[in-house]
Structure 1
Amino acid sequence: MIRIENIHKRFGEEEILKGISTTFEKGKTNLIIGQSGSGKTVMLKCLLGLFSPEEGRIFYEDKPIQEMDEEEQRDLREDIGMLFQGGALFDSMTIEENVMFPLRMFTNNKKEDMLARVNEVLSRVKLDGVNKKYPAEISGGMQKRVSIARAIVNKPKYLFCDEPNSGLDPKTATVIDNLIQEITHEYDITTVVVSHDMNSVMEIGENIVFLKNGLLVWQGTNNEIFKTDNQDVTDFVYSSDLFKKIRVVQQKEG
């Protein structure tokens, strides 16, 4: 579980996050959504410790990151898996080497033990036999699955995903969404996904935080988001082409 209390983040005179408090639940896919400029990415970077809020605290379980010493911060980094927007695979490394990279960085495991773990997570994302290929030799959807394998290879307690469906076709995006949710449930991870994709909200939004202009204006589930009377939320939901069509159908049937 991750809990944030009244965090504020400013850059110069501009306040980006304006007193946000919420909880991201363990074993659930927690989504941060909102329009561009709403504060999603800044919030993610605060959660990762890349930005320090001027006010407020961020707790991992019951420990605020502001009070962690150097050793505790290192331990926390080992507990975090990160799925970057573009995948961020190393082009010069094979798939096997890419997935093994966090193990080399954070563990002293033997080579055969690391390789066994790499094969285990590649199998989990249905990519058996691609070890010696390079990222350029596989599809975008397969690259994203490799990135997921790398993110979970260290058995993280927390998984962060930044726009995981960016650049993917709808069918492949659904596969990635479902895989993220399956892994979250299977390993009981606290997963936080930053997204603007309403398909992701509909598929895996078990706990949704909606930001607007640096404020948390709504929180709920993917079932509740279609029933809310919050105008900011409904404007966002029905701004996508898919949900414009859904609304037209609903109005005709109503």
Structure 2
Amino acid sequence: MIEVKNLHKSFGDAHILKGVTTTFEKGKTNLIIGQSGSGKTVFLKCLLGLFDYEQGSIAYDGKIFTQLSEDEKRNMRADIGMVFQGSALFDSMTIAENVMFPLKMFTKQSKSEMEDRVNFVLKRVNLEDAHHKKPSEASGGMQKRVAIARAIVNKPKYLFCDEPNSGLDPKTSIVIDNLIKEITEEYQITTVINSHDMNSVMQIGEKIVFLKNGLKEWEGSRYDIFKTDNAAVTDFVYSSELFKKVRQMYLEERG
């Protein structure tokens, strides 16, 4: 579990996060949503330890990151997996070498142990025959699956995903969403996803935090979204006619 209390972050005179308090639960897909400029990217980078913040705290299973020693922070980073928006694979490496990279950085495993682990996670994301390919030879969906394999190869406790469906077609996006959800439940990871994809929200959003102007405007599950009367949430979620119709059908079915 990740617990965030009264988080404030500014850049100069720009106050980006204005006292955000929330929790992200273990074994669940937790989503951060909001319009551009809402503070969700800054929030994610604070959770990752990439940005310092002026006030508040972030605790990972009870351990407050800013109170840890440098060695403890390094160990904590080894417990974090990250799926970047653009996959961020190394073009000069094969897919297997990309996936092995965190093991070389954070562990002292033998080569055979690392190879076994790489084989296991590539099979888990259905890429057992892609070891020797370069990222340039893989489709966008395959690259995202490689990025997920790399993110989980070190058996992380926390998985962060920044717009994992960016640039993907709807069918492939569903595959990636389902894979992230399956892995989260299977390994009981605390997963936090920064997303603007409302299909992802409605499909895998077990906990949703909606930010607006640096404030936590609303939080709940994908089912709660159908019932909320928060105008900011409904304006954001139901900006398309499709989702308006889906919500109306949901409300009618429940009287």
Map of 1:230 onto structure 2: 230
Is residue 6–residue 56 contact of structure 1 (8 Å, CA) maintained in 2? Answer: yes
Q: 1:242 Cα shift? A: 3.3
Q: 1:246 Cα shift? A: 3.7
Distance in 1, matches of 2:206 and 2:156, equals 20
After TM superposition, the structure 1 = structure 2 runs for residues 99-118 of structure 1, keeping only pairs within 5 Å, are 99-118=99-118
Q: Secondary structure at the match of 2:161?
A: strand
Distance in 2, matches of 1:252 and 1:2, equals 36
Is residue 226–residue 247 contact of structure 2 (8 Å, CA) maintained in 1? Answer: no
User: Which amino acid in structure 1 is aligned with residue 57 of structure 2?
Assistant: R
Map of 2:149 onto structure 1: 149
Distance in 1, matches of 2:17 and 2:241, equals 29
Distance in 2, matches of 1:234 and 1:117, equals 44
Is residue 8–residue 55 contact of structure 2 (8 Å, CA) maintained in 1? Answer: yes
RMSD of aligned Cα (Å): 1.6
Distance in 2, matches of 1:245 and 1:225, equals 14
Map of 1:27 onto structure 2: 27
User: Normalization by structure 1: what TM-score?
Assistant: 0.96
Distance in 2, matches of 1:246 and 1:188, equals 31
Q: 1:94 Cα shift? A: 0.3
Distance in 2, matches of 1:248 and 1:156, equals 40
Distance in 2, matches of 1:250 and 1:109, equals 51
Distance 1:224 1:252, change over 3 A: closer
User: Which amino acid in structure 1 is aligned with residue 32 of structure 2?
Assistant: I
Distance 1:5 1:96, change over 3 A: same
**How many residue pairs were aligned?**
254
Distance in 1, matches of 2:168 and 2:113, equals 33
Identity %: 70
Distance in 2, matches of 1:60 and 1:250, equals 36
Is residue 226–residue 251 contact of structure 2 (8 Å, CA) maintained in 1? Answer: no
Is residue 6–residue 55 contact of structure 1 (8 Å, CA) maintained in 2? Answer: yes
Q: Which runs of 4+ in 1 moved over 2 A?
A: 244-254
Map of 2:86 onto structure 1: 86
**Structure 1 residue runs without a partner (length 5+):** none
Map of 1:67 onto structure 2: 67
Is residue 31–residue 195 contact of structure 1 (8 Å, CA) maintained in 2? Answer: yes
Measured against aligned partners, the alpha-carbon deviations of 1:116-172 in whole angstroms (never above 9, x if no partner) come to: 000000000011111000111111101100000000000000000000000000000
Map of 2:5 onto structure 1: 5
Q: Secondary structure at the match of 1:223?
A: helix
Measured against aligned partners, the alpha-carbon deviations of 1:77-134 in whole angstroms (never above 9, x if no partner) come to: 0000000000001111000000000001111111111000000000000111110001
User: Which amino acid in structure 2 is aligned with residue 2 of structure 1?
Assistant: I
User: Which amino acid in structure 2 is aligned with residue 224 of structure 1?
Assistant: D
Measured against aligned partners, the alpha-carbon deviations of 1:201-253 in whole angstroms (never above 9, x if no partner) come to: 01100000000000001110011111100000000011135324546878999
After TM superposition, the structure 1 = structure 2 runs for residues 179-190 of structure 1, keeping only pairs within 5 Å, are 179-190=179-190
Q: 1:73 Cα shift? A: 0.2
Map of 2:49 onto structure 1: 49
Distance in 2, matches of 1:251 and 1:62, equals 39
Is residue 226–residue 250 contact of structure 2 (8 Å, CA) maintained in 1? Answer: no
